Amino acid sequence: MPTRREDDAAPERCTVQAADGFGIGAFAWRHPDPERRTRPAVIINPATSVRCHYYFRFAAFLFRKGFDVICYDYRGIGESRPATLRGFRAGWIDWGRLDFEAILQHTARAHPGQPVHVVGHSIGGFLIGLAGSSHRIARAFTVGAQFAYWRDYAPALRRRLVAKWHVAMPLLTLMCGYFPGRRLGWLEDTPKGVVRDWALSRRRFEDTWHGRAAARTLDPRALVQRFAAVTAPMLAVGLDDDEFGTVPAIERGLAYFTQSPRLHLRISPQAIGMPAIGHFGFFHSRFEPTLWPLALAWLRSGRLPADHPGVLAVSATHA
């Protein structure tokens, strides 16, 4: 867990009940002053199997800049982990339609009248569209957002990534009943349903569940129609050295948000004078001076700062 700066307020821990009764562990940074109706509340959606604590420095940064912030763990991860993951059922669809939906509704209740913005990392940027209340979102900022279709991985690393995440990970999960990622230093321990969704991800997100029993009780294609309810302007940041968030991967995810004005900003490490950024680097505090102002400007105004690093991918722009 990151250490706190002396001027960072300690977040308040809370549990939010999802529609199926499961308790989602969350942390909230909230200002007490009476002008809160004009202050946006920002939800941070984590990447797959990354604990919400990883985003605490970024959340505290937004809080210092005047936002209310809530960060949470999906079911099966961190603060939302059950006593055992063996036999525990959870997948990406659950994380979007149940967990994020619960946090979205909770934020609307806890911050009445305030605009609700979302910051989504990796799968957390894509799952925005699965929530039934996604129409409530006023603005979205994503980093490396995609759904792990293997052909979109960086070509030079594709064989190694497929071997690790699409072969070794599901095999270990089959043996253990869940993915023991923490023991291996490969993310957090992860429910087998999430591993299945990642390992079997297809070109079209909705086809990942084709032929499964779950798809007969919950139609993924119908869930995908929910993406059209998202009308929030969206800035999708992609890092040139991100092996998952390549141009094809981010473009594939953005294509689902048909009614959202979208911008896809590509940033190279060299553009900010750094040797590397990668899939997880954006939220590290060393990038507070160079990358975090992008999120701040977008969440405040829906615009990029004039001196922003990187270039826009024109094909993702939607008027």
Residue 6 pLDDT: 44
Question: Is residue 17 domain-resident?
Answer: yes
pTM: 0.94
Q: Which residues contact 268 (CB under 8 A, 6 or more apart)?
A: 239, 240, 241, 310
Give the separation between CA 287 and CA 260, rounded to whole angstroms: 28
The answer to whether the Cα torsion of 93, 94, 95, 97 is positive or negative is positive
Number of domains in the chain: 1
Question: Is residue 152 domain-resident?
Answer: yes
Question: Is residue 186 domain-resident?
Answer: yes
18-41 in b/e form (b: 16+ CB < 10 A) is beeebebbbbbbbeeeeebeebbb
Question: Is residue 6 domain-resident?
Answer: no
- Any idea what the CATH number is for the domain that residue 131 is in? 3.40.50.1820
Along the 319 residues of the chain, how does pLDDT read in single tens digits?
A: 444 454 567 899 999 999 999 999 999 999 987 667 789 999 999 999 999 999 999 999 999 999 999 999 999 999 999 999 999 999 999 999 999 999 999 999 999 999 999 999 999 999 999 999 999 999 999 999 999 999 999 999 999 999 999 999 999 999 999 999 999 999 999 999 999 999 999 999 999 886 565 555 678 788 889 999 999 999 999 999 999 999 999 999 999 999 999 999 999 999 999 999 999 999 999 999 999 999 999 999 999 998 999 999 865 444 3
Question: Is residue 4 domain-resident?
Answer: no
Residue 26 pLDDT: 98
Question: Is residue 216 domain-resident?
Answer: yes
Q: Provide the residue type at 27 as one letter.
A: F
Residue 318 pLDDT: 40
- Domain with 190, as residue range(s), is 12-316
Question: Is residue 91 domain-resident?
Answer: yes
Residue 2 pLDDT: 47
* Residue showing tokens 């689902």: 256
Question: Is residue 73 domain-resident?
Answer: yes
